[in-house]
Structure 1
Amino acid sequence: MKKHILEVDGIQKKYNDRVILSDVYLKCETSQIIGLLGRNGSGKSTLLKIIIGLLSAPNKCIRIDSVSKNNENNVFNDISYLSQEQFIPNHLSVKKAILLSIDKQKIKFFCEDEFIQAILGKRIGHLSGGELRYLEIKIVLFNSSKFVLLDEPYNGLSPIMVDVVNELIKKNSEKKGIVITDHNYKNVIKISTQVVLIKDGKTHYIRNNAELVEKGYLVDLELL
C-alpha cells in the first residue's frame, strides 16, 4: 500500500498581540497516529483549523505527498476533520445522516456495529452526547480521505465507548494518517505512535514520556 505524507510547516498565528503558534512544523504519515498535547490555550485546536483551512495563517505551507496544497480552496478531499462542535443537523434521522455521509458500498459495513444499530431508529436531536459523538467520529473515519484530524473526540464518551473509539482509530490508521488532540491526555498518549507537544507556540517531538515531565506538561509520570 502506498504511503502518504502530510507536512505542515511555517505555521504562525497570533490573536491581537499574543503569539499562539510560531513557526510550527508537523508531519504525519499514513499508519501514524500523532497525539497532539499542550496546555489549554496552547494552540492545538487552532493548528487543526489552520490545516483544514477554517483559519487563515500567513506563510503557511501545507504539502501532501510533496505537493503544495496552499492555493487550494480546501483540502477536504485529502483531509477529514472532526471539530469540537456538532456538525450533523438535529432535524436529520440517523439513517439519513448515514446515507448522506457514507459511500453506498460501505453503508452495510458501517451499520454492522451494535452501537450504530441501537440508534438507527432515532433522530439526531434525540441522541445522547456520547451517541452523537460516536456517530460523528465513525462518519469522519469512514471518509475516503488520506488523513484525519480529530479535535476532542472523547468528549462525552463513557470509558467503554472510549475503548471502542480507540479501536476504530487504530483500525483506520492502517490506511490513514491520524492527528488527535483531547483533554483526555492519557488516552491520547496510549493510542499515539508519536506524541507532539505544543509549548510556547512551537512543536516538540516527544521521544519518551519522561520528556513530558521535563518540559513541564506533566508533574509526575505517575499521572499516566
Structure 2
Amino acid sequence: MPNLLEIDSVVKSFYMHDVLTDIYLKCQTGDIIGMLGRNGTGKSTLMKILFGTLQADRKFIRIDGVVYDQPYKTVNEICYLPQDSFLPKHMSIEKAVKLYLDKNQVQDFMEDPILQKLDASKIAHLSGGELRYLEIKLLLNTACKFILLDEPFNGVSPILVGEIKKLILKTSEFKGIILTDHDYRNVLDVANQFCLIYDGGIKRIDDKQELVRWGYIPESRLE
C-alpha cells in the first residue's frame, strides 16, 4: 500500500505580504512531483513548512492520515535537502555515511563508482557538485517515506546531473519525492507530475503547454 503525504490549507505571510495562500499538495509513493515557479514565489518556503522547520500562519500536514506539526521530528517519515550543504565539513565521507545509514547499507553505498573516484576523505575536500551528489544519495537511501529536494542540480556537472536523475527515478519506486530547481529543464526531465506556484497559489499542471500559457516559460523553450 502506498504511503501518502498531504499538506493542506497553507497560509504564510512575511511582513504583511502573502507568500502562500491556501495551498494543497499531495504526494504518494511513486510520485516525483516537480514544483515549478519563478524565484521568490515560495517554493523553498513551502518545502520548509512541509518539513516542519518553518512555521506557517496556518497549515495541516498529514502522513498516512496522521497529523504532524513538525514531521522532521518523527523518525523515517520525511527528509529534506536544503539549498545549502548540511554535512559538517570536518567529517569524513565514511563517517557521514555511517551516521545516516544502517550498518548493512554502508559497504554497498561506499562501493558507488562515483564515490570511489573521489580523491578525498573529508567532506571539505569535495567540490560543490560532488558534495551535492553525496548528500542526495544519502537522503535517498534513508528509510524515510518522502524526500524533499530543493535545488538538487544546482552547481552540479552534467555527468553528475545525469547520475542524480537515475538515483531519483530508481528511488521513486519506494518513496514519494518532491523537487524544485531553478533549471526547469532538469525538473521536466525527471518528474512524473508537475505543479506551478503562481500568485500565492498552487496549480496542478497536466500538460506542459500550460507552463507556456501561465507565462512561466516561452513556447520556444518547451521541447
Please give the TM-score of this superposition, normalised by the length of structure 1: 0.95
Q: How large is the RMSD of aligned CA atoms in angstroms?
A: 1.5
How much has 1:121 moved relative to structure 2?
4.5
Correspondence list, 1:146-157, <5 A = 146-157=145-156
2:135 is matched with which residue? 136
| Structure 2 counterpart of 1:22, one-letter code | T
Instruction: Tell me if structure 1 keeps the 8 A contact 2:94–2:110.
Output: no
Supply the distance in 1 between the matched residues of 2:55 and 2:9 (Cα, whole angstroms): 13
Correspondence list, 1:31-46, <5 A = 31-46=30-45
Instruction: Tell me if structure 2 keeps the 8 A contact 1:33–1:179.
Output: yes
Supply the distance in 1 between the matched residues of 2:181 and 2:140 (Cα, whole angstroms): 16
2:3 is matched with which residue? 4
Instruction: Tell me if structure 1 keeps the 8 A contact 2:41–2:197.
Output: yes
Total equivalences in the alignment: 223
Task: Specify the SS of the correspondent of 1:60.
Answer: strand
Cα distance change of structure 1 residues 76 and 201 upon mapping to structure 2, 3 Å threshold: farther
Task: Specify the SS of the correspondent of 2:155.
Answer: coil
Identity %: 48
How much has 1:103 moved relative to structure 2?
1.0
2:25 is matched with which residue? 26
How much has 1:116 moved relative to structure 2?
1.0
Task: Specify the SS of the correspondent of 1:183.
Answer: coil
Instruction: Tell me if structure 1 keeps the 8 A contact 2:52–2:69.
Output: no
Supply the distance in 2 between the matched residues of 1:148 and 1:71 (Cα, whole angstroms): 15
Task: Specify the SS of the correspondent of 2:118.
Answer: coil
| Structure 2 counterpart of 1:165, one-letter code | I
1:106 is matched with which residue? 105
Supply the distance in 2 between the matched residues of 1:50 and 1:211 (Cα, whole angstroms): 26
2:212 is matched with which residue? 213
1:14 is matched with which residue? 13
Supply the distance in 2 between the matched residues of 1:12 and 1:71 (Cα, whole angstroms): 16
Instruction: Tell me if structure 2 keeps the 8 A contact 1:3–1:30.
Output: yes
Supply the distance in 2 between the matched residues of 1:196 and 1:112 (Cα, whole angstroms): 36
Supply the distance in 1 between the matched residues of 2:120 and 2:41 (Cα, whole angstroms): 40
Task: Specify the SS of the correspondent of 1:156.
Answer: coil
1:178 is matched with which residue? 177
Task: Specify the SS of the correspondent of 1:132.
Answer: helix
Instruction: Tell me if structure 2 keeps the 8 A contact 1:34–1:178.
Output: yes
| Structure 2 counterpart of 1:146, one-letter code | K
**Any stretches of 5+ residues in structure 2 without a counterpart?**
none
Correspondence list, 1:22-171, <5 A = 22-70=21-69, 74-75=73-74, 77-119=76-118, 121-171=120-170
| Structure 2 counterpart of 1:192, one-letter code | A
